[in-house]
């Protein structure tokens, strides 16, 4: 789908009415099965199987073992940001004696890439494919992850940590094979793979695959609409046998009159009002994706006079390093405003490396600090502990906040109540203004359902979503694509996707 901000075309009920063929596998049981009534594939075709290596049907350590006629592939190798120790890894042992000959990685968020060195240990000799920018970003993310895991081992006594060393990351990087969006290649004899811009974060890709007369498309994480920085996804629309689809926002009902530009104006109004009250604005922000979106959004808000042109924007945490990498690919990726180097041209203030001690809070400033969910031991968490008790300040959340995270705890706190931001420090009174915005890097559930309808796959596999989200998609597909088999793959179970 070409990115143009218009989103997918509306699709009504696009299935064939009157015949239901929904087979849902979940927790090992077939919930709603009807007899097979068609054989869409000829005998020369080979079957395709998938084993979900994620420990639960959730947004966790995403990883899928795909068996094709040409060989076995691992799709993504994530680490669960909400789990600790061995529970944060995919269950590679569920592969049993099936070897993996090739590893494909959709994008650099850790829930898709955080366990790559562990996967490479399990499946030595399997080359790892990802886009060039994703490779550079994963390199930086994994090194940062070693540091985070090492401090967690020291603080919490998690002996499994770190899962790998800096040296192992360096060795792993040398063995990666960089690919490009729009390029097709044969990753194994008879397995053809093509990469498509997913519009989710810089470097992100959807993956098309053909083997043994069967085709599969994996959305990875996808956003069909233009964001501030990333252009909307440019996905193929040709029919496929299997659609492996994320379902992140399946339980999220977007406001009917939502527009991104209205959301930006609401954000700008909070900035102006906070400055007028003599305060500052803290935006806890995910280092990868959301930081770059925010920097360009603030720059354009200054250009159009929505916020004062001289408002200092302070950047801190891992986001600085990742933005540097993304700036190096300025002309090579589909993005808005490719003429702008975010760090050089937007006037963002970076901390001098020589400066030690906490970042000072100055009135009339905007602080874009990672992490996005105020996780302990991060720049945004430490800063927030000195910031949220002042009534003139505002804290603005622009991404997902897990209810279990410090950001979730803050959002659940009434004004004037106390928040535990760090279990080692006393609670902090919440006196500042709190606002939440929808700048999601994920497609709406309606857009994803419409996309599935256009591809008319024989099988849809639903992944990367919590229970309510999966339920919504399951019901929507049963209604709109009644001939399609819907699979919610039970963790660790081998599921047949298409028959021989
Ligand atoms: Zn992602
Ligand atoms: Zn994800």
The per-residue pLDDT for range 306-324, each reduced to its tens digit, is: 999 999 999 988 999 999 9
Q: How far is CA 440 from CA 106, 321, 413, in A?
A: 18, 22, 23
Contact (Cβ atoms closer than 8 angstroms) between residue 437 and residue 397: yes
pLDDT at 355: 65
Tokens 């309606």, located at residue: 446
DSSP string, 246-293: E-TTTT----TT--HHHHHHHHHHHHHHHHHTT--EEEE--TTTHHHH
Residue of 338, 255, 246 lying closest to 292 (CA atoms): 338
Phi, psi of 285 (to 5 degrees): -140, 135
Say whether both 265 and 297 belong to one domain.
yes
Say whether both 432 and 480 belong to one domain.
no
Distance between Cα 161 and ligand 2 center (Å): 22
Query: Quick check: is 447 in a domain?
Result: yes
Residue of 139, 433, 438 lying closest to 293 (CA atoms): 438
Distance between Cα 86 and ligand 1 center (Å): 21
Confidence category of residue 10, pLDDT binned at 50, 70, 90:
very low
Distance between Cα 249 and ligand 2 center (Å): 11
pLDDT higher than threshold 70 for residue 38: no
Residue after which a domain boundary falls, among 436, 464, 489: 436
- Do the strands 242-246 and 214-218 form a parallel or antiparallel pair, or are they unpaired? parallel
Say whether both 221 and 142 belong to one domain.
yes
Residue of 162, 165, 104, 164 lying closest to 134 (CA atoms): 104
pLDDT at 39: 36
pLDDT higher than threshold 80 for residue 13: no
Say whether both 149 and 229 belong to one domain.
yes
Cα–Cα distance between 66 and 87 in angstroms, integer? 22
Contact (Cβ atoms closer than 8 angstroms) between residue 5 and residue 232: yes
Considering every ligand atom shown, identify the ligand nearest to the alpha carbon of residue 54 and give its number.
2
Query: Quick check: is 15 in a domain?
Result: no
Element (H, E) at 245: strand 242-246
Q: Count of domains in the chain?
A: 2
pLDDT at 499: 76
Cα–Cα distance between 306 and 322 in angstroms, integer? 27
Distance between Cα 372 and ligand 2 center (Å): 14
Q: Could you list the residue range(s) of the whole structural domain that residue 51 is in?
A: 25-253+441-498
Residue of 106, 118, 103, 107 lying closest to 176 (CA atoms): 103
Cα–Cα distance between 436 and 399 in angstroms, integer? 8
Distance between Cα 354 and ligand 1 center (Å): 32
Considering every ligand atom shown, identify the ligand nearest to the alpha carbon of residue 201 and give its number.
1
Say whether both 311 and 430 belong to one domain.
yes
DSSP string, 188-213: ETTEEEEEEE-SSSTT-EEEEEEETT
Instruction: Supply the CATH number for residue 343's domain.
Output: 3.40.50.10890
Distance between Cα 200 and ligand 1 center (Å): 7
Query: Quick check: is 423 in a domain?
Result: yes
Query: Quick check: is 7 in a domain?
Result: no
pLDDT at 255: 78
Query: Quick check: is 3 in a domain?
Result: no
Phi, psi of 217 (to 5 degrees): -125, 130
DSSP string, 437-499: ----SS--HHHHHHHHHHH--SEEEEESS-HHHHHHHHHHHHHH-TTSEEE-PPBT-EEEEE-
Contact (Cβ atoms closer than 8 angstroms) between residue 265 and residue 306: yes
Query: Quick check: is 8 in a domain?
Result: no
The per-residue pLDDT for range 448-494, each reduced to its tens digit, is: 999 999 999 999 999 999 999 999 999 999 999 999 999 999 999 99
Say whether both 452 and 431 belong to one domain.
no
pLDDT at 27: 36
Distance between Cα 441 and ligand 2 center (Å): 10
Contact (Cβ atoms closer than 8 angstroms) between residue 428 and residue 385: yes
Say whether both 421 and 466 belong to one domain.
no
Considering every ligand atom shown, identify the ligand nearest to the alpha carbon of residue 441 and give its number.
1
Interval 374-402 mean pLDDT: 95
Distance between Cα 196 and ligand 2 center (Å): 16
Among 38-52, 111-125, 187-201, which stretch is predicted with the lowest mean pLDDT?
Answer: 38-52
Distance between Cα 110 and ligand 2 center (Å): 8
Considering every ligand atom shown, identify the ligand nearest to the alpha carbon of residue 286 and give its number.
1
pLDDT at 498: 87
Interval 14-39 mean pLDDT: 33
Question: What order of strands is seen across the sheet that includes strand 281-284?
Answer: 349-350, 313-316, 366-369, 281-284, 394-397, 433-436
Cis omega (within 30 of 0) for bond into 162? yes
Cross-strand partners of 196 = 206
pTM over 0.75: yes
Residue of 246, 258, 177, 197 lying closest to 445 (CA atoms): 246
Say whether both 44 and 162 belong to one domain.
yes
- What is the torsion angle, in degrees rounded to the nearest 10, for the CA atoms of residue 212, residue 215, residue 220 and residue 221? 180
Instruction: Supply the CATH number for residue 36's domain.
Output: 3.60.15.10
Tokens 């359902």, located at residue: 449
Rounded to the nearest 10 degrees, the angle between the axes of helix 290-303 and helix 260-276 is 70
Q: State the Cα angle at 82 between 78 and 84, rounded to 5°.
A: 85
Query: Quick check: is 225 in a domain?
Result: yes
Residue after which a domain boundary falls, among 436, 465, 480: 436
Query: Quick check: is 113 in a domain?
Result: yes
Say whether both 76 and 184 belong to one domain.
yes
pLDDT at 428: 98
The per-residue pLDDT for range 318-364, each reduced to its tens digit, is: 999 999 999 999 988 999 999 999 999 999 999 765 666 788 999 99
Say whether both 445 and 432 belong to one domain.
no
- Classified as helix, coil or strand, 137 is helix
pLDDT at 22: 31
Distance between Cα 311 and ligand 2 center (Å): 33
Locate 12 and state its tokens. Answer: 């009504």
Say whether both 118 and 40 belong to one domain.
yes
Cα–Cα distance between 115 and 90 in angstroms, integer? 8
Say whether both 336 and 446 belong to one domain.
no
Element (H, E) at 170: helix 166-174
DSSP string, 345-356: HS-PEEPPTT--
What does DSSP assign to residue 174? H
Contact (Cβ atoms closer than 8 angstroms) between residue 264 and residue 306: yes
What does DSSP assign to residue 335? B
Contact (Cβ atoms closer than 8 angstroms) between residue 499 and residue 47: yes
Q: Sign of torsion, CA 120 123 129 134?
A: negative
* Burial of 407 from C-beta contacts in 10 A (0-12 / 13-18 / 19+): buried
Residue after which a domain boundary falls, among 390, 420, 436: 436
Tokens 């440019």, located at residue: 234
Distance between Cα 433 and ligand 2 center (Å): 29
Confidence category of residue 46, pLDDT binned at 50, 70, 90:
confident
């Amino acid at each position: 789908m070409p990115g143009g901000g218009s989103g997918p075309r509306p699709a009504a009920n696009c299935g064939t009415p009157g015949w239901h063929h929904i087979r849902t596998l979940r927790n090992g049981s077939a919930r709603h099965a009807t007899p097979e009534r068609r054989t869409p594939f000829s005998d020369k075709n080979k079957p395709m199987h998938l084993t979900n290596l994620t420990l639960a049907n959730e947004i966790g350590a995403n990883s899928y073992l795909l068996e094709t006629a040409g060989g076995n592939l691992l799709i993504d190798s994530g680490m669960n940001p909400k789990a600790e120790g061995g529970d944060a890894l995919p269950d590679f042992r569920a592969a049993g004696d099936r070897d993996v000959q090739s590893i494909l990685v959709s994008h650099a968020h850790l829930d898709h890439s955080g366990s790559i060195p562990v996967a490479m240990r399990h499946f030595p000799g399997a080359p790892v494919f990802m886009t060039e920018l994703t490779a550079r970003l994963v390199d930086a993310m994994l090194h940062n992850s070693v540091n985070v895991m090492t401090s967690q081992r020291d603080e919490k006594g998690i002996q499994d940590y770190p899962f790998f060393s800096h040296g192992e990351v360096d060795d792993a990087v040398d063995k990666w094979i960089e690919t490009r969006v729009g390029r097709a290649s044969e990753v194994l004899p008879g397995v053809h793979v093509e990469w498509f811009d997913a519009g989710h974060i810089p470097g992100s890709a959807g993956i098309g695959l053909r083997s043994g007369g069967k085709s599969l498309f994996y959305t990875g994480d996808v956003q069909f609409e233009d964001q501030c920085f990333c252009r909307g996804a440019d996905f193929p629309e040709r029919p496929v046998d299997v659609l492996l689809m994320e379902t992140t926002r399946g339980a999220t009902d977007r406001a009917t009159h939502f527009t991104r530009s209205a959301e930006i104006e609401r954000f700008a109004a909070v900035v102006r009002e906070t400055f007028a009250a003599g305060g500052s604005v803290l935006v806890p922000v995910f280092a990868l994706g959301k930081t770059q979106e925010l920097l360009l959004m603030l720059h354009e808000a200054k250009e159009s006079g929505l916020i004062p042109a001289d408002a200092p924007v302070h950047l801190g945490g891992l986001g600085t390093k990742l933005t540097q990498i993304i700036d190096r690919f300025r002309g090579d990726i589909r993005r808005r405003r490719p003429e702008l180097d975010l760090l050089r041209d937007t006037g963002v203030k970076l901390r001098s490396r020589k400066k030690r001690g906490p970042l000072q809070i100055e009135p009339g400033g905007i602080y874009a600090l990672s992490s996005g969910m105020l996780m302990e031991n991060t720049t945004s968490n430490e800063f927030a502990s000195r910031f949220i008790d002042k009534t003139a300040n505002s804290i603005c959340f622009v991404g997902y906040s897990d209810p279990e995270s410090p950001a979730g705890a803050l959002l659940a706190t009434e004004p004037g109540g106390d928040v535990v931001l760090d279990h080692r420090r006393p609670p902090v009174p919440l006196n500042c203004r709190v606002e939440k915005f929808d700048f999601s890097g994920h497609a709406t559930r309606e857009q994803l359902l419409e996309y599935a309808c256009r591809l008319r796959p024989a099988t849809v596999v639903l992944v990367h979503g919590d229970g309510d989200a999966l339920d919504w998609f399951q019901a929507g597909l049963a209604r709109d694509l009644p001939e399609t088999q819907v699979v919610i793959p039970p963790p660790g179970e081998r599921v047949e996707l298409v028959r021989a």
